[in-house]
Amino acid sequence: MLRYLTSGESHGQSLITIIEGIPSNLNIDIDNINGELCRRQQGYGRGDRMKIEKDKVNILSGMRGSTTIGSPIAIEIKNKDYENWKEYMNPVEEIDKESKCVSKVRPGHADMVGSLKYDFKDVRNVLERASARETAARVAVGGVCKEFLSKFDIDFTSHVIQIGNHKLNKSFEFDYIKKESEISQVRCVDKEYENLFIDEIKKAKEEGDSLGGIFEVRIKNVVPGLGSYVHYDKKLDSELSAHIMSIQAIKGVEFGLGFEMASLKGSDIHDEIYYSKERGIYKNTNRLGGIEGGMSTGEEIVIRGVMKPIPTLYKPLNSIDINTLENYKASIERSDNCALPAACVVAENVCAFVIAKFFIEKFGQDNMKDIIKTYQNYLERLSDRGWKMDTKSI
């Protein structure tokens, strides 16, 4: 089974991850993983921390000469900002705990319950780990998984479809994919909306406020039959949802037409099935977003996530000092005021982990040669049953 752990505080020395279950003899291009980390750092609305960090992976184990050897892969991403924080964040030496002690808990963060649950007077012990800085490690994991999945032509893209009150029209979006190079600084595929999004973020910032929105992830060339209908924990959509929901500030997930389905009739939704000699089994629509009965259908997987507005506000909300219980305004930590473009990239990469996990479960784990063979056998069998899939790069 493919699995990983992450470790690391936002202003600690490094983020660390260990991934286990990546097959042997997979050639990995480190530049591609660093490229994913760079994409995650982009986006209008990010705060000053992104000017300090230049995230790059340091592979510590599990590979020799750019090739995996089947053992756990340990990856480090250094926090450059640690230099500015080491007197407060050193894990072993005496530190000055008082001067950076946080006690005015921020609504919408893990601050209050985290410090009660783990019995801390200093909320920094909570916020350092609850921070979305951790998503850099998850993107490194996704980067490795994307390297694996690219051998099977599985391809990921994402874009922002709503920020604040401005929302792209969904039906227009459905047959609209842009290449990475054409995606703007707010990861929007439409020029007019790009400007609206930027203006909205700018306005919120001037008001000391923050914004949320909706992003969309699309996954192409996933073979039919990843996941299963037989048990709750084998369903591809439930696992993808769980991983997207685990991203900081994500509050909902939908597939295909998603929540719009509530007001539509069955005949408006379910994708009709056809067969022709030339195309094999096919559908003309993909309203269910590429998953039926917990399994990939072979169509593009279309997932959306909603992100709440960033909780740290420069115009702080009412709160309390968790130690004195006095009423105060919440603490102001340096902050993004909108991070939808970054959340898009994180979502793509957590999806890459889930797809890789289900793929490996279905086609084997030990080495690339065996997996490719099993995959090809499966495609051949599907072809005998009328399904056609382009296998050009294998």
Ligand X SMILES: Cc1cc2nc3c(=O)[nH]c(=O)nc-3n(C[C@H](O)[C@H](O)[C@H](O)COP(=O)(O)O)c2cc1C
Ligand Y SMILES: C=C(O[C@@H]1CC(C(=O)O)=C[C@@H](OP(=O)(O)O)[C@H]1O)C(=O)O
22 binds ligand Y (CB under 6 A): no
10 is in the binding site of which of ligand Y, ligand X, none (Cβ under 5 to 8 A by kind)? ligand Y
Kindly state the smallest distance separating residue 52's Cβ from ligand Y, in Å: 8
Q: How many residues are present in the chain? A: 394
111 binds ligand Y (CB under 6 A): no
Chain positions 322 to 341 lying near ligand Y, rule: CB under 6 A, are: 333-336
Give the separation between CA 150 and CA 345, rounded to whole angstroms: 17
103 is in the binding site of which of ligand Y, ligand X, none (Cβ under 5 to 8 A by kind)? none
For residue 10, give the 3-state DSSP assignment: coil
In terms of DSSP bridges, do strands 273-276 and 280-283 run parallel, antiparallel, or are they unpaired? antiparallel
Distances (CA, A) of 298 to 154, 223, 227, 282, 288: 11, 5, 12, 9, 12
Kindly state the smallest distance separating residue 16's Cβ from ligand X, in Å: 19
Which one among 15, 240, 244, 249 touches ligand X, defined by CB under 6 A? 249
Interface segment toward ligand X; rule CB under 6 A; list 56-64, 247-255, 263-271, 381-389:
247-255
In this structure, what token pair is assigned to residue 199? 């203006």
Nearer to ligand X, 252 or 311 (CB): 311
Chain positions 324 to 383 lying near ligand X, rule: CB under 6 A, are: 335-336, 339, 342-343, 346
132 binds ligand X (CB under 6 A): yes
Kindly state the smallest distance separating residue 308's Cβ from ligand X, in Å: 6
133 is in the binding site of which of ligand X, ligand Y, none (Cβ under 5 to 8 A by kind)? ligand Y
286 binds ligand Y (CB under 6 A): no
- At residue 103, what are phi and psi to the nearest 5 degrees? -135, -15
- At residue 91, what are phi and psi to the nearest 5 degrees? -70, -20
Interface segment toward ligand X; rule CB under 6 A; list 102-110, 172-180, 194-202, 360-368:
102-110
Distances (CA, A) of 117 to 53, 123, 140, 351: 31, 11, 30, 30
Kindly state the smallest distance separating residue 124's Cβ from ligand X, in Å: 14
Which one among 157, 248, 337, 349 touches ligand Y, defined by CB under 6 A? 248
In this structure, what token pair is assigned to residue 210? 């923050």
Chain positions 46 to 85 lying near ligand Y, rule: CB under 6 A, are: 47, 49, 53
106 binds ligand Y (CB under 6 A): no
350 binds ligand Y (CB under 6 A): no
Nearer to ligand Y, 54 or 121 (CB): 54
Give the separation between CA 192 and CA 209, rounded to whole angstroms: 23
Q: How many CA atoms lie within 13 A of 303 on its CB side?
A: 31
For residue 61, give the 3-state DSSP assignment: strand
Question: CA-CA-CA-CA torsion for 336, 341, 343, 344, nearest 10 degrees?
Answer: 180
Interface segment toward ligand Y; rule CB under 6 A; list 126-134, 146-154, 270-278, 361-369:
126-134
Distances (CA, A) of 60 to 80, 129, 259, 353, 367: 18, 22, 43, 20, 21
42 binds ligand Y (CB under 6 A): no
Q: Is 329 known to sit in a ligand binding site?
A: no
Which one among 241, 312, 319, 349 touches ligand X, defined by CB under 6 A? 312
Q: What is the DSSP string of 143-183?
A: HHHHHHHHTTT-EEEEEEEEETTEE--HHHHHT----GGG-
Q: Is 39 known to sit in a ligand binding site?
A: no
Give the separation between CA 112 and CA 322, rounded to whole angstroms: 7
Kindly state the smallest distance separating residue 108's Cβ from ligand X, in Å: 6
Residues that bind ligand X (CB under 6 A): 47, 108-110, 130-132, 135, 247-249, 308, 310-312, 335-336, 339, 342-343, 346
Binding residues for NADP(+) are: 40, 46
